[in-house]
């Protein structure tokens, strides 16, 4: 019997959506600290949400190429995970993990076989790998764009490398994604929103239900 798929709801901005995600059975909730994202929150509201999540669900703070000061500020909030969603090198990921003393999810953008080949470099320095669609050239942010990528590219990945799948997943597509790719977890942000940055509790519940049913 395979382990149940982990479910992460990213870009949570308020208590109502946090509660909806927890009540529906999410494993991880993510908070975005990146000013160019429609899901951006300052650190004070993130601290409050982490406190509300504690003991109910794991929490994750998403950062993009953070400096050491920001890493220390976020580590002080006590999330379960820090997600690195920028161009961080394996060496930098390892340094952030050592400095923060917090488990790291490293997002790797996938758009080609070459991108897949780079994933293995993060296997040792990150605690978990998240595969996301590579943003188009000129995009103003590295993820949360609602794009999918060609899952067939992942056939080249080392099968022993567990990963979470992201990139344009929705309640309508998550079951097919789980069956096609066999990820250890799935991550959704824009796919459960009414408008950019505004989550819908009904879509959050539907996503989690479909993901759970597919991995049962």
pLDDT digits (tens, 9 = 90+) for 69-81: 999 999 999 999 9
Instruction: Report the pLDDT averaged over residues 10-19.
Output: 98
Q: With 0.85 as the threshold, say if the pTM is over it.
A: yes
Domains and CATH numbers, the chain: 6-215 (3.20.20.70)
Q: In this model, does residue 145 exceed pLDDT 80?
A: no
Instruction: Report the pLDDT averaged over residues 190-205.
Output: 96
Q: In this model, does residue 88 exceed pLDDT 90?
A: yes
**Per-residue pLDDT, 1:** 46
Query: What mean pLDDT, rounded, does the chain reach?
Result: 93
Torsion of CA 42, 36, 104, 136, to 10 degrees: 170
Under the banding of pLDDT at 50, 70 and 90, the label for residue 3 is confident
Q: In this model, does residue 143 exceed pLDDT 90?
A: no
Q: In this model, does residue 147 exceed pLDDT 90?
A: no
29 bridge partner residues: 9, 59
Q: Token digits for 97?
A: 């993990």
Q: In this model, does residue 212 exceed pLDDT 50?
A: yes
Q: Which of 39-43, 119-123, 144-148, 186-190 has the lowest mean pLDDT?
A: 144-148
**Helix, strand, coil percent content, the chain, rounded in steps of 5:** 40, 20, 40
Of the candidates 72, 80, 87, 157, the one whose C-alpha atom is nearest the C-alpha of residue 116 is: 157
Residue positions annotated with a catalytic role = 10, 132
Sign of the CA dihedral with 77 first, then 134, 211, and 18 last: positive
Under the banding of pLDDT at 50, 70 and 90, the label for residue 216 is confident
Instruction: Report the pLDDT averaged over residues 128-142.
Output: 77
**Per-residue pLDDT, 12:** 98
């Amino acid at each position: 019997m395979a382990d149940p798929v982990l479910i992460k709801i990213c870009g949570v901005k308020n208590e109502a959506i946090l509660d909806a995600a927890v009540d529906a059975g999410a494993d991880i909730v993510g908070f975005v600290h990146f000013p160019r994202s429609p899901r951006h929150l300052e650190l004070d509201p993130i601290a409050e949400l982490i406190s509300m999540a504690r003991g109910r669900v794991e929490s994750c703070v998403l950062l993009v190429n953070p400096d050491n000061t920001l890493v220390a500020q976020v580590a002080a909030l006590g999330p379960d995970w820090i997600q690195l969603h920028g161009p961080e090198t394996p060496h930098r990921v390892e340094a952030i993990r050592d400095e923060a003393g917090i488990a790291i999810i490293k997002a790797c953008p996938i758009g080609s076989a070459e991108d897949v080949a780079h994933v293995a470099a993060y296997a040792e320095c990150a605690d978990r790998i998240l595969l996301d669609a590579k943003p188009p050239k000129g995009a103003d942010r590295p993820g949360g764009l609602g794009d999918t990528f060609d899952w067939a590219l992942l056939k080249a990945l080392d099968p022993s490398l567990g990963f979470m799948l992201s990139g344009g997943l929705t309640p309508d597509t998550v079951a097919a994604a789980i069956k096609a790719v066999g990820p250890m977890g799935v991550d959704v942000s824009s796919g459960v929103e009414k408008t950019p940055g505004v989550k819908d509790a009904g879509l959050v519940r539907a996503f989690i239900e479909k993901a759970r049913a597919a991995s049962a």
